[in-house]
Amino acid sequence: MLVAWLAGCSSPATPQPGAPPSSPAPATSPSAPAGDRKYLLERVDDAAVVQLYADGFASLPLKQKTLIYHLYQAALAGRDIFIDQKHRDALEMREVIEQIVAYPSGVDPATLAEIQRYAKLFWLNNGPYNNLTARKFVLKLTPDALEAAVAASAKAGAKYRTGSETIDQKLARLAPMFFDPNVDPIVTNKTPGPGKDILQASANNLYSGVSMADLTGFTEKYGLNSRLVKRDGRLIEEVYRADGKYGAYITEIIKHLEAAKPFAEPPMAKALDALIRFYRTGEEADRKAYDIAWVQDKNSPVDTINGFIEVYMDPRGVKGSWEGLVFYVNQEKTQRIKTLANHAQWFEDHMPWDAKYRKPNVQGIVANAIDVVVETGDSGPVTPIGINLPNDQSVREQYGSKSVALSNVNEAYDKSSPGGMRGEFSWTAEEAERARKFGTFSGELTTDMHEVIGHASGRQAEGKANPQALIKEHFSALEEGRADLVGLYFIADPKLVEIGVVPAADHQDIILAEYEAYTRNALVQLRRVREGTQIEEDHMRNRQMIVRWLMANTRAIESRTRDGKTYLVMVDAKAFREGVGRLLAEVQRIKSEGDAAAAAKLFDTYGIHFDAKLRDEVVARVDKLNLPSYSGFVMPKLTAVTGANGAITDVTISYPQDLTKQMLEYSGVRR
């Protein structure tokens, strides 16, 4: 499952378009980020192209670097599987556009510019479908213009694989996919309309010629890892395994996993062995054995996800999309999570609510903060920000799961988002500057507390063991609000300095940055509700509720206008914290006592309804800033340094800062 770290709490979610929910930074030195290096590389239509950095890699021991290097090769080796899963023509289409981009000499400049735009969108989305809308995007050229570009590039050295066709025949065959928005328009269509078939209406390559009716009475043996094909009136499972479908890619993946094994710690080596076995046999029992071995490897400093994992592309929700991720634990940030968890009892004892609702024995929740080195297939260039696996419910119940927060992805989201948003909604330049300097750090710290000591805290009154059943539709928003309030309350506590998670010198700025950002968000988030006058989403409700309650019950926040624009201004941090403590006490009481009426009143008064005119104003201001809808990442590049005997003596990391260069390199296309 992909989980958004801040906004998610186990609810499946993708990163919020254009504005990441959370934003981490170095724990010990929030004021010393890695200089002014480049994060936002370019914009392509509504996408942002962003460089991902993995700062901790260089200081890992050689054994771990070598392990990561081989796993990185394994992740790259499977990359094309996912592109082929997206659409049966996608790899051929990619070859055409990559050859033109790589050998552009003699191509008409306007044609080339359009092909470059299309190529970048294709790379970011792993095919011709927009990853947010699932709809096809097309090449805005005439078929003749593409043909001319192909001819020119061939003269310049481009090579086109044509098989038994001529290049013209090949282009004619691919033309409907390149140019016609009505041919295979949607990659995954779960609601195609009455009388239509979800498999027939979906353009992906997980099925061929199959409709839902064909599945009646058919026993699927390889649900997760096969393509289902109807041939001569019969259903055939083309199993993804070393001697089956995608066998060449899988064999290459296995080779790199084998090379990685000697550098892995025993529990991880065991998991890699299980994965290799599964790739060879494709059998369900081996997949399950792998899931178990993977989840039991809890302490490895390096980890990988490599396989057919998430099922979102399949309208049936059965077939796995291939993905490859490699990452190492960000010890510094994980340390902060662990430090908070270790002091969970202290925080519990100091919760600003009635002592009878404090837990005598509280355990903080532990997860890992990680830095990703590479993400391919279903997980890159567009990436989740949190992951919780395995998906197999029976394994989860018996063996648990592993949760990771992708720290460097979050950081890159944050650093690449245009400062315009902060500036537009900050009352003063100082506030905007504080957000720039400390917002990343304070946001992530508050999120950590939300997760680690927020959700884990509190106890129920006698006979009220199931607050969810009592509070019903307001429960989720109340619980998210409770966790947020715990973070907001303790971020201003000197205890954080004492236990070393906040530098004393920056504490005041961190408090202000968090309170100001939280306040601004009540206004800025209205852009997401473009119709109606009600907030539906639970996290948005709780955030609206907290700010509006503080406005009604404290003097911490003022609504001001300037040049016809509305601002929410946090003017008194002490009053803010005092109010947060009071509200938290009440929210905990509501939860502990299952007081549904009070919960309903709280959200109805402060959390749900908003002024449409104010929303329209916010939408207009945000649209003017031209923010991207989604981001795709250029991955770090690893290079092995080998000694005389061929053994790896070092692995260096570099940052290409160029999507085109990286993609051509991945495809093995040289200019």
How long is the chain?
A: 671
Site mask, Zn ion, residues 426-465, x = CB under 5 A?
----------------------------------------
Query: What is the closest distance, in whole angstroms, from the C-beta atom of residue 480 to Zn ion in the complex?
Result: 5
- Tell me the C-alpha distance between 408 and 403, whole Å: 15
- Tell me the C-alpha distance between 421 and 376, whole Å: 30
Query: What is the closest distance, in whole angstroms, from the C-beta atom of residue 594 to Zn ion in the complex?
Result: 19
Query: What is the closest distance, in whole angstroms, from the C-beta atom of residue 535 to Zn ion in the complex?
Result: 17
Q: Is the dihedral of CA 392, 378, 305, 646 positive or negative?
A: positive
Q: Residue 131: which residues within 8 A CB-CB, separation 6 or more?
A: 124, 125, 382, 630
- Closer by beta carbon to Zn ion, 199 or else 583: 583
Decide: 168 and 293 in contact? Cβ < 8 Å: no
Decide: 31 and 42 in contact? Cβ < 8 Å: no
Binding residues for Zn ion, how many (CB under 5 A)?
Answer: 3
- Closer by beta carbon to Zn ion, 408 or else 457: 457
- Closer by beta carbon to Zn ion, 303 or else 480: 480
DSSP 414: H
Query: What is the closest distance, in whole angstroms, from the C-beta atom of residue 25 to Zn ion in the complex?
Result: 20
- Closer by beta carbon to Zn ion, 9 or else 250: 9
Query: What is the closest distance, in whole angstroms, from the C-beta atom of residue 72 to Zn ion in the complex?
Result: 32
Amino acid at 646: G
Structure tokens given for 274: 């299980």
* Closest chain position to Zn ion (CB): 9
Structure tokens given for 229: 């094909």
DSSP 337-364: HHHHHHTHHHHHHT-SS-GGGS-SS---
Decide: 573 and 556 in contact? Cβ < 8 Å: yes
Query: What is the closest distance, in whole angstroms, from the C-beta atom of residue 7 to Zn ion in the complex?
Result: 8
Measured between alpha carbons, how far is residue 295 from residues 184, 256, 268 in Å? 38, 21, 10
End-to-end Cα spacing for the chain: 38
Q: Which stretch binds Zn ion (CB under 5 A): 3-11, 47-55, 191-199, 639-647?
A: 3-11
- Closer by beta carbon to Zn ion, 9 or else 83: 9
Q: Which stretch binds Zn ion (CB under 5 A): 6-14, 20-28, 197-205, 635-643?
A: 6-14
Query: What is the closest distance, in whole angstroms, from the C-beta atom of residue 303 to Zn ion in the complex?
Result: 24
Residues 465-494, interacting with Zn ion (CB under 5 A): 480, 483
Amino acid at 116: Q
- Closer by beta carbon to Zn ion, 21 or else 78: 21
Q: Which stretch binds Zn ion (CB under 5 A): 5-13, 90-98, 219-227, 278-286?
A: 5-13
Structure tokens given for 145: 């213009």
- Closer by beta carbon to Zn ion, 98 or else 444: 444
- Closer by beta carbon to Zn ion, 453 or else 483: 483
**Which one among 9, 253, 340, 421 touches Zn ion, defined by CB under 5 A?**
9
Query: What is the closest distance, in whole angstroms, from the C-beta atom of residue 252 to Zn ion in the complex?
Result: 40
Query: What is the closest distance, in whole angstroms, from the C-beta atom of residue 386 to Zn ion in the complex?
Result: 11
Site mask, Zn ion, residues 186-225, x = CB under 5 A?
----------------------------------------
Q: Which stretch binds Zn ion (CB under 5 A): 1-9, 17-25, 65-73, 170-178?
A: 1-9
- Closer by beta carbon to Zn ion, 9 or else 203: 9
Site mask, Zn ion, residues 325-354, x = CB under 5 A?
------------------------------
- Closer by beta carbon to Zn ion, 9 or else 568: 9
- Closer by beta carbon to Zn ion, 9 or else 254: 9
The string over 408-431, giving b where at least 16 C-beta atoms fall within 10 Å of a residue's C-beta and e elsewhere, is bbbbbbbbbbbeebbebbbbeeeb
- Tell me the C-alpha distance between 344 and 357, whole Å: 15
Query: What is the closest distance, in whole angstroms, from the C-beta atom of residue 448 to Zn ion in the complex?
Result: 11
Site mask, Zn ion, residues 592-611, x = CB under 5 A?
--------------------
CB atoms < 10 A from the CB of 81, how many? 25
Query: What is the closest distance, in whole angstroms, from the C-beta atom of residue 449 to Zn ion in the complex?
Result: 11
Q: In what order do the strands lie in the sheet with 386-389?
A: 302-310, 321-329, 368-377, 402-406, 386-389
Query: What is the closest distance, in whole angstroms, from the C-beta atom of residue 455 to Zn ion in the complex?
Result: 6
- Closer by beta carbon to Zn ion, 115 or else 486: 486
Q: Which helix (H) or strand (E) holds 29?
A: none
Query: What is the closest distance, in whole angstroms, from the C-beta atom of residue 450 to Zn ion in the complex?
Result: 6
Which residues is 136 bridged to in the sheet?
A: 129
DSSP 101: H
- Closer by beta carbon to Zn ion, 45 or else 473: 473
Dihedral of the CA atoms 391, 451, 304, 299 (nearest 10)? Answer: -110
- Tell me the C-alpha distance between 583 and 548, whole Å: 11
Decide: 386 and 2 in contact? Cβ < 8 Å: yes
Structure tokens given for 137: 């995007």
Residues 513-542, interacting with Zn ion (CB under 5 A): none
Residues in the site for Zn ion, rule: CB under 5 A? 9, 480, 483
